[in-house]
Amino acid sequence: MARAVGNLARLAAVSLGAVALTLPGLAAAERVETSAAASQGTSMTTPVTAAPLIPRDALFGNPTRAQGQISPDGKWLSWTAPYEGVMNVWVAPVSDPAAAKRMTNATDRPIPQYFWSPDSRSILYIQDKGGDENFLLYQVDIASGKEVTLTPFENTRVEVIGASHAIKDKLLVGLNNRDPQFHDVHLLDLATGELTLVMENNAYAGFMADDTLTIRMAMAQNEAGGTDYFRVVDGVVEDAPFETTAMEDSLTTSPAGYTQDGSVLYWIDSRGRNTAALFAQDTATGTRTLIAEDARADLGGTMRNPVTGVIEAYAVNYLINQWVALDAGVKASLDWLGEQFEGSFGINSRSDDDAIWIVWNDPVTAPTAVHIYDRKAKTLTPFYTSRPELAGKPLQMMHPVEITSRDGLTLPSYLTLPVGSDPDGTGVPVAPVPLVLLVHGGPWARDGYGFNSLHQLLANRGYGVLAVNFRGSTGFGKDFLNAGNKQWGLAMHDDLIDAVDWAIAKGITAPDSVAIMGGSYGGYATLAGLTFTPDKFACGVDIVGPSNLETLLGTIPPYWAPLVKIFHERMGDPNTEEGLALLRAASPLYKADQITKPLLIAQGANDPRVKQAESDQIVAAMKEAGIPVTYVLYPDEGHGFAKPANNIAFYAIAENFLAECLGGRAEPVGDALKPSTAQIIEGADHVKGLKAAPGK
């Protein structure tokens, strides 16, 4: 589609390359309030002890503002900001930013994503219930403030299929209210709310439309675990695919949209090569033209003209994300912006006339700031600073590093060190420090460079933080990705161990001072670390991690069913004797009695990806074996914690847990649990201050 739909499409759409146990926003929210005076935990080195303790609230509470955008017509600014402690959407005229008005009325869960209607007359946003990921679509009229539910269905997940620059009052949306496995395509009239069925879907995992809101493509998984792409002509899907991928390219090849006139279809494509490159395909002749490539990394994000849909710049994200312009005007703007900022920057949104950009700047060691960029005047007007309370705090730099695995793979990684431990900024402390190995979710995702609340919390408490892109991570070519196939608990885990050994050899940490921590797949890696290599880690923190890969695959969300072959090919097929044996051997549950180190587990009761049973069953196994464990359950959360109070409560527990394990300092638990819904199911005695905490 020519016009970018915004964050909703990226979050709500089920795409053939996006299925993973990723963690959407475990610690994404920020808050402006500061907490009560913090106290030091066990003794640390003098420089760390002397550094001010950054309050948890400042890192994991609500931001002052977030998600800044410009309306397509360039007349309105929008953002999310707290109202009575909950993130809501606000708008103001560009001509009078002080005349802000709140457009939404969320009172419980923060609004995760919103976007403008193409006609600039309304704000659209999504919301689920308690983290169940059944996202519905809501609309708020800018002039009247009237709010309506555009998809008023139960147990339904919406996905945006198409938006248009030419047809501004309509969208194409997918709804799985008829069959939870498949999304039927509907035309949504934004003026009346009417939904008109365009195509009943009983076979396809996704669709793509052009600027006329005509379905042009359908996508389905093939028997090999790859993807077949079918042309749709006059509403009928052709029998034979016009493009196809094998399993090896299934997560590194995907269409990237049509130009407005429909003459060009863009692809991010790894077929016949290692790293995914950017191609333009003539839709009339099928001829493909290579536009850009990089030997180190898959090409990622693109900047497309808001009206024509032509790609004007693309991103290469190896260790640090870099933009490369194809259009002379965009290049001049990006070059000028690069001269104004320290650290990385990017574009949140652009007006249709491309005169105004909303630009963010992340210096890593200072709060992220957002600006209004007038391209013609070459002016940057401050819009907001997301976390002004972090200004002047001892935020630590992030070091991109390359680590070599035992079999010769290069593992792009990121290291953050405690304040004062590395006065020369070399990336190696003057003396070894306790280390937290922080493992990303997915596993078909990646860690990246930039401000990270959890890195900053842990570094502030006296720990080094090492984030490793192990094999199976995305963005570094299909060879690197596919090296992780059926390697859960095997070579993927070896990469993490190799990274720890690297840190020990470099003098960054000591062998008995390493914790492992992560969410989703990272939670699995934590359980694997404490069961498969129990002597390697001093303790572990598992957040919504699966403990039994067989039961995990048996309970995947129904809307992932059309893509289940990907899981079977990349993890192990439970329908075969060999695959089932592989899954069971890689499941920490069956080795729970091998756990000898302290373990903290956190789980959302409504998690549709990693069910509560995944945590329940390993906790039960540990109890049966007489092994202590601390288990925190959130009855109103899903795959990660959306509510700031719940995030703050969890990290209050986690930092005090780590302080006892690794000897860092910690802000006391205090009354952090009181405003949260945290339930301590097991092991309150194992965390200092937890048993006595109000509201536990």
Active site residues: 520, 607, 639
- Annotate 474-502 with b (16+ C-beta within 10 A) or e (fewer): bbbbbebbbbbbbbbbbbbbbbbbbbbeb
Q: For residues 212 and 198, is the Cβ–Cβ distance under 8 A?
A: no
Cβ-based neighbour number of residue 73 at 10 Å: 16
Give the pair of three-digit tokens for residue 58: 């400042």
Residues 6 or more apart in contact with residue 338 via CB below 8 angstroms: 345
Helix 577-585 to helix 564-571 angle (10° resolution) is: 70
CB atoms within 10 A of CB 84: 7
* Rounded distance between C-alpha atoms, residue 295 and residue 263, angstroms: 28
Sign of the CA dihedral 657, 658, 663, 668?
negative
| Residues 379/433, Cβ–Cβ less than 8 Å | no
Residues written for the chain: 696
What does the alpha-carbon distance between residue 60 and residue 647 come to, in Å, rounded to a whole number?
A: 6
Q: What is the rounded distance in angstroms from the CA atom of residue 373 to the CA atom of residue 337?
A: 9
Helices (H), ranges, 533-563: 549-554
544: left (phi over 0), alpha (psi -120 to 50) or beta: left
Residue 37 burial (10 A CB sphere; 0-12, 13-18, 19+): exposed
CA gap 179, 201 in Å, rounded: 9
Long-range contacts of the stretch 269-272 (C-beta < 8 A, 24+): 270/298, 270/477, 270/478, 271/245
- 357's tokens: 């950009």
DSSP-H helix ranges across 440-563: 453-460, 478-482, 491-505, 521-532, 549-554
Check: CB of residue 2 under 8 Å from CB of residue 260: yes
Phi, psi of 489 (to 5 degrees): 75, 0
Q: How far separated are the first and last CA of the chain, in Å rounded? A: 49
Compute the distance between CA of residue 634 and CA of residue 629 in angstroms, rounded to an integer.
17
Spell 365-393 as b/e; 16+ CB within 10 A means b: bbbbbbbbbebeeeebeebbbbbebbeeb
- CB-based contacts of 475: which residues, under 8 Å, 6+ apart? 297, 298, 300, 317, 446, 469
**Sign of the dihedral defined by the CA atoms of residues 330, 331, 337, 343, in that order:** positive
Both structure tokens of 683:
């092991």
Cα separation, 17 vs 566, whole angstroms: 10
Per DSSP, the three-state class of 322 is strand
Parallel, antiparallel, or unpaired for β 539-543 and 514-519? parallel
CA 242 to chain centre: 32
CA distance 317 to 275: 12
Q: Are strands 599-604 and 299-304 parallel, antiparallel or unpaired?
A: unpaired
425 CB burial (10 A radius; 0-12, 13-18, 19+): exposed
CA distance 263 to 252: 24
